[in-house]
Structure formats: structure tokens, C-alpha cells
Homo-oligomer: A and B are copies of this chain.
């Protein structure tokens, strides 16, 4: 996958603004595969090169938890999504499934705070890829979360 396509995937979440307008207003009426858009809406790609992607995002109200900071599940999903995208920048095939994701939560990110998400490949082999993802406060560089994502890449044969 070329870098421009990875960038577009991250910034569009695989869908179009138009689709969204047509959606119904209840949770049950949400369109197919809405989840990625729901998380990534507002994400910007600041840097993209083989093996490394840096994105930024303003923490939106929809992703807050009961304590009014970025939800741990949303954080884990960003580790998943940006971690998957960085694999594609190395020319790995578009297929692949998650084997393991882990996240340490280090600080809170509040409403409208600018966060930076950096994903780096630690290893991209024929079968297994491992990515490190760090989420930081853009202003201070303070780490909000650090995680790793292991993917199985060789999907021609069964995992």
C-alpha cells in the first residue's frame, strides 16, 4: 500500500462524509463498520514514512469516559488502528490480523487537548509484525499511553 493511501485511510477512516449524513440517529441504525470512523474522525497525519507514522487529534467529547478524559478503550483502538496503518507503510500486504495488543495508561488526556500518536514498526517479518505505539500530549510531550501491537501478516496460509 502506498503512503498516500495509508494517509487517506487514516484521515477518512475508510468512509466519506456523505455516508455519515445519511445515517439514522439511533445506535441500532448505524451503518456497517461504523466503528473505525467513529474513533478516527478528526485524526490528521502529520508524518508518514516507511515504518513510522505520526498523527494528531484533538480529544473529542464523544470519546471521553466517565472521568471526562480519553476512554481507555478508545486509546487501545488508536493503538490498534495507527499500529495497523504503519505496517502498510512498509509495503506489507493489506491483509493481516491482530494477535496481541497491550497498552499501559500513564496520564489522562482531557477534552480538546491535542494528542500525538506515533507508531513505529519494531519488526516486519514474512509472518509476524510488531509495532510500538506511543500517545503523547502535543504541547508537553508527556506520555499518555504506550502500547505494542502484534500482527500475523501471512494470511495466504491459515494462522
Chain A residues within CB distance 8 Å of chain B: 14, 20-21, 23-28, 30-39, 41, 60-68, 71-74, 76-78, 80-81, 97-108, 122-123, 125-128, 130, 132, 143, 146, 148, 150, 152, 154, 157-159
Contact = CB atoms under 8 A, between A and B. Distances in A.
Q: A28, A38, A143 — which one has the most chain B CB atoms within 10 A of its CB?
A: A38
Given A77-B76, A127-B152, A148-B146, A104 B97 contact: no
B104 A122 contact: yes
Contacts of A30: 61-62
Given A30-B61, A76-B101, A127-B127, 18 more contacts: A24-B25, A27-B62, A32-B64, A33-B65, A36-B71, A38-B62, A39-B73, A72-B80, A73-B81, A76-B103, A100-B150, A101-B103, A102-B103, A102-B148, A122-B143, A127-B158, A148-B148, A150-B150
A103 B107 CA distance: 21
Given A107-B123, A127-B152, A23 B20 contact: no
Contact of A35 (B28, B71, B132, B158): B71
Contacts of A100: 99-100, 102-105, 148, 150
20 contacts: A20-B27, A21-B25, A21-B26, A27-B38, A28-B41, A30-B61, A33-B62, A71-B80, A76-B76, A76-B101, A77-B77, A99-B99, A99-B100, A104-B122, A126-B159, A127-B154, A127-B157, A127-B158, A146-B148, A154-B157
